[in-house]
Amino acid sequence: MSHRTPPWLLVLFAALLATGTDEFVIAGVLPEVAESLNVTVGVAGQLVTAFAVVYALGAPTLAVVLDRMPRRLVLGGGLVVFTVANAAAALAPEYWTLLASRIVAALAAASVTSAAFATAASGAPEGRQGSYLSVVTAGMTVALFTGVPLGTLLGGLYGWRATFWLIAAVGALSALGVFATAPRIAGGPAAPLADRLSPLRSLPVARLVTVTFLCGTGGLMFYNYIGPFTSATVGGGADLRAGMLLIVGLLGLVGALFGGRISDALGPHRTLKLVVGGHLVALILAGLFGVSGLTSAIVLGVLVALWSTFAWSLNPPMQGSVLAAAPQAGMTAMALNISGLYLGTGVGGAIGGVVIGTLGAGYVPFAGAVLLLVAFSLTPRARQRAAAPRAEETSGTPVH
């Protein structure tokens, strides 16, 4: 059996690269947006908050609403709406129009992300579900260290509106790619609304989403404050901080792909236990470094690389575990998991700010490690590997 990556999987990678960039990129052009639209930077910052909150709440809601629709239609239609919303953002004459376009883009991105994971899981050959999910995850990871910096650079050179035109262009190309190459996978079977909402009442799904939330809170707390942590421990300027973020991006991509390969080899439950445990150890080591008085940038770089590898390995085994927990409503269950991650990101930023204000930046990894310890205790016990759920068990039956 050939292990060549199919074109449609690369299209899903590009789609999530676009949606991931759209969420974070505006943070890099906030001063320009604020000045252009005659609002304060704080008000402009609500464009980031609105996107994240709407995304987190919209993902499970739209997954239920769109569950019976063919996956290719959800993907392609969502990308079309996403493209139009970003074009509207580029043309926005004032703040409220831009805010409205961001809300629409967030809803579209939420539907695209859930459908992309469901399509990757359903369209994967036997024994390669983890690898296919890792490619989709990699799109989100690459957005952090290529899409976001590129969009920020473009905004600095040609104005913030050019950033949204770039995202709209990638979204449009991804939509064309989906309609041209994506497999024809039917939506979920006809079922009462109560059945489609079953993941909301599932204790195994709730347990896994809680693990994702805690990992997102603890791990991305460290990511959000890696700049202050670097300055507090080894000093250095913007170049060193940028270097640490580059390490996060590069090793994060390795971690995303690593998580998929190991998940295929060991099964999602065993891999999840390994990844969460490794993430916990990496944060403890970073915390020990933060309070040790060591000032070696090389040691810090190694620790950041270790943390990045485990932190970004989470999604493939987690999504595989969630699918196994709710095979009858896989898209809804994965959407809930995505919401847990995004909500964790926001909570982690708030907790990290409190830690820095009271104890100092060097203690941020320890705060994250406490949350990861709870996550590890909740991670389901590794089971003997079972065959990955197939398309007809998760997100509908392929239509030939």
Digit-coded pLDDT (tens) for 1-34: 346 778 999 999 999 988 888 877 776 777 788 8
Shared domain for 143 and 273, answered yes or no, is no
Shared domain for 24 and 169, answered yes or no, is yes
Question: For the residues 90-114, what does the mean pLDDT come to?
Answer: 94
Digit-coded pLDDT (tens) for 290-344: 999 999 999 999 999 999 999 989 888 888 888 777 776 666 777 788 788 878 8
Q: Enter the DSSP assignment of 363.
A: G
DSSP structure string for 27-76? GGGHHHHHHHHT--HHHHHHHHHHHHHHHHHHHHHHHHHHTTS-HHHHHH
Instruction: Quote the radius of gyration of the chain (alpha carbons, Å).
Output: 20
* For residue 88, pLDDT beyond 80: yes
Q: Quick check: is 288 in a domain?
A: yes
Share of the chain above pLDDT 90, in %: 36
Structural domain harbouring 364:
191-381
Burial class (CB within 10 angstroms; exposed 0-12, middle 13-18, buried 19+) of 205? buried
User: What local confidence, expressed as pLDDT, does residue 390 receive?
Assistant: 41
Lowest pLDDT segment from 105-109, 146-150, 310-314: 146-150
Cβ 345 vs Cβ 220: under 8 Å: yes
Nearest C-alpha neighbor of 113 from the set 145, 68, 79? 79
* For residue 395, pLDDT beyond 50: no
Q: Quick check: is 279 in a domain?
A: yes
Confidence category of residue 187, pLDDT binned at 50, 70, 90: low
* For residue 63, pLDDT beyond 70: yes
Confidence category of residue 385, pLDDT binned at 50, 70, 90: very low
User: What local confidence, expressed as pLDDT, does residue 399 receive?
Assistant: 38
Contacts for 222 with CB less than 8 Å, ≥ 6 apart: 229, 283, 286, 307, 311, 352, 364, 365, 368
Q: Quick check: is 399 in a domain?
A: no
Domain boundary among 146, 167, 190: 190
Shared domain for 167 and 247, answered yes or no, is no
Shared domain for 375 and 326, answered yes or no, is yes
* For residue 146, pLDDT beyond 80: no
Confidence category of residue 155, pLDDT binned at 50, 70, 90: confident
Confidence category of residue 91, pLDDT binned at 50, 70, 90: very high
Q: Quick check: is 230 in a domain?
A: yes
User: What local confidence, expressed as pLDDT, does residue 198 receive?
Assistant: 62
* For residue 389, pLDDT beyond 60: no
- The residue ranking higher by pLDDT, 391 or 143, is 143
Q: Quick check: is 345 in a domain?
A: yes
Beta bridge partner(s), residue 209: none
* b/e map 378-397, b = 16+ CB within 10 Å: ebbeeeebeebbbbebbbbb
Share of the chain above pLDDT 70, in %: 88
Shared domain for 186 and 284, answered yes or no, is no
* For residue 67, pLDDT beyond 90: no
Cβ 97 vs Cβ 37: under 8 Å: no
User: What local confidence, expressed as pLDDT, does residue 272 receive?
Assistant: 93
Q: What is the CATH number of the domain that holds 376?
A: 1.20.1250.20
Tokens of 108: 């579209």
* For residue 400, pLDDT beyond 50: no
* For residue 182, pLDDT beyond 90: no
Shared domain for 244 and 118, answered yes or no, is no
User: What local confidence, expressed as pLDDT, does residue 387 receive?
Assistant: 39
Confidence category of residue 386, pLDDT binned at 50, 70, 90: very low
Return mean pLDDT, the chain.
83
Shared domain for 267 and 290, answered yes or no, is yes
Shared domain for 222 and 139, answered yes or no, is no
Confidence category of residue 397, pLDDT binned at 50, 70, 90: very low
* For residue 108, pLDDT beyond 60: yes
- Cα 205 from Cα 196, distance rounded (Å): 14
User: What local confidence, expressed as pLDDT, does residue 87 receive?
Assistant: 97
Shared domain for 236 and 204, answered yes or no, is yes
User: What local confidence, expressed as pLDDT, does residue 117 receive?
Assistant: 84
Shared domain for 135 and 235, answered yes or no, is no
Digit-coded pLDDT (tens) for 188-221: 555 555 555 566 678 888 899 899 999 989 988 8
- The residue ranking higher by pLDDT, 239 or 186, is 239
Q: Quick check: is 395 in a domain?
A: no
In the chain, where does DSSP find H-type helix?
A: 7-25, 30-37, 41-66, 71-91, 95-123, 129-142, 148-158, 160-181, 193-196, 198-201, 203-224, 226-233, 238-266, 268-292, 297-311, 315-325, 330-358, 364-378, 391-394
Shared domain for 213 and 118, answered yes or no, is no
In terms of phi and psi (left: phi > 0; alpha: psi -120 to 50; beta: otherwise), the region of 236 is: left
User: What local confidence, expressed as pLDDT, does residue 192 receive?
Assistant: 53
Confidence category of residue 50, pLDDT binned at 50, 70, 90: confident
* b/e map 262-300, b = 16+ CB within 10 Å: bbbebbbbbbbbbbbbbbbbbbbbbbebbeeeeeeeeeb
Confidence category of residue 252, pLDDT binned at 50, 70, 90: confident
Q: Quick check: is 393 in a domain?
A: no
Q: Quick check: is 71 in a domain?
A: yes
Give the total number of structural domains in the chain.
Answer: 2
Shared domain for 219 and 180, answered yes or no, is no
Burial class (CB within 10 angstroms; exposed 0-12, middle 13-18, buried 19+) of 41? exposed
